[in-house]
Amino acid sequence: MESTPRGLKWLSAVTGVLFLIALGMVLFYAPEEAVMGNVQRVFYFHVSAGWVGGLAFLVTAVAGIVYLMRSDPKWDRVAQASVEVGIVFTLINIVSGSIWARPIWNTWWTWDPRLVTATVMELIYLAYVMLRQGIEDPERRARFGSVYGIVGFISVPITFLSIRLLRTIHPVVIGSSDPSAQGAFDMTPAMLQTFMFSLLTFTLVYATLLWHRLRLQRLMERVEQMKMKVFAS
């Protein structure tokens, strides 16, 4: 296995530094929200994690389309790697939202449209992983995974739009909330700067993790090929 590319080393270092700066901004630069108090600071990373989840699943769908057009296994690797990162960040989004909800909604969980659609989306992509594990033939696995990744992406815009189209208590920070929303707030300039910086940082975190996960995928395939070669001889 070749050593870590110089570009990836730099990207990892820059991302790490930016993450620490973002955490510093969340804790010390953004002001305390007047009603909710300090728990509102979770919002910056909660939304950013949700953004990374949606972005990762979009990349999976696009990679699936390209794979079906070109049959190049490289694109299947991208789809698979991106799903794993997306699942992790969607889980972070759901759990951090639940922690925010406890003091604000007085419950860890409620059957609100946003919470339900986000959880269904997570389950859809967990099923993607299970589907792939159940197919032996690599070409067939890639083809089925691509189709599933494209169809499964429908869950992403549904999750995004659920708080804009349906009656919900989940606040909409960018845009207008439903009148029954609980925990909505207006952002000050410092809050907006922290939010945008967090979004940028999490996007870089995604790119970094995707690159590492892709290299892992290539190594897994190399080990599999080597195993087949050794056992066949």
Give residue 80's identity as a one-letter amino acid code: Q
Of 25, 30, 41, 177, the one binding other proteins (CB under 8 A) is 41
Residues in contact with 20: Cβ distance below 8 Å, sequence separation at least 6, in sequence order: none
Q: Show contacts with other proteins in window 181-210 (CB under 8 A).
A: 205, 209
Of 14, 32, 127, 140, the one binding other proteins (CB under 8 A) is 32
Does 223 help bind other proteins (rule: CB under 8 A)?
yes
Q: Which stretch binds other proteins (CB under 8 A): 85-93, 110-118, 124-132, 149-157?
A: 85-93
H or E segment at 59?
helix 42-70
Nearest residue (CB) to other proteins, 141 versus 212? 212
Of 9, 70, 74, 227, the one binding other proteins (CB under 8 A) is 227
**Counting beta carbons within 10 angstroms of the beta carbon of residue 101, is it exposed (0 to 12), middle (13 to 18) or buried (19 or more)?**
buried
Of 39, 58, 166, 173, the one binding other proteins (CB under 8 A) is 39
Closest CA to 90 of 155, 141, 174, 16: 155
- Could you list the beta-strand ranges (E) of 118-161: none
Of 9, 10, 24, 38, the one binding other proteins (CB under 8 A) is 38
CA pair distance 104, 4, nearest whole angstrom: 44
What CA dihedral angle connects 160, 165, 171 and 176, to 10 degrees? 110
Nearest residue (CB) to other proteins, 45 versus 153? 45
Beta bridge partners of 33: 37
CB 186 within 8 A of CB 172: no
CA pair distance 34, 48, nearest whole angstrom: 22
Q: How far is the CB of 57 from other proteins (least distance, A)?
A: 16
Closest CA to 203 of 98, 96, 117, 85: 85
Of 88, 135, 166, 181, the one binding other proteins (CB under 8 A) is 88
Chain centroid to Cα 69, Å, comes to 25
Of 18, 21, 42, 192, the one binding other proteins (CB under 8 A) is 42
Nearest residue (CB) to other proteins, 35 versus 175? 35
Q: Show contacts with other proteins in window 91-120 (CB under 8 A).
A: 91-92, 95-96, 99-100, 102-104
Residues of this chain that bind other proteins (CB under 8 A): 1, 23, 26-27, 32-42, 45-46, 49, 85, 88, 91-92, 95-96, 99-100, 102-104, 205, 209, 212-213, 215-216, 219-220, 222-223, 226-227, 229-230, 233
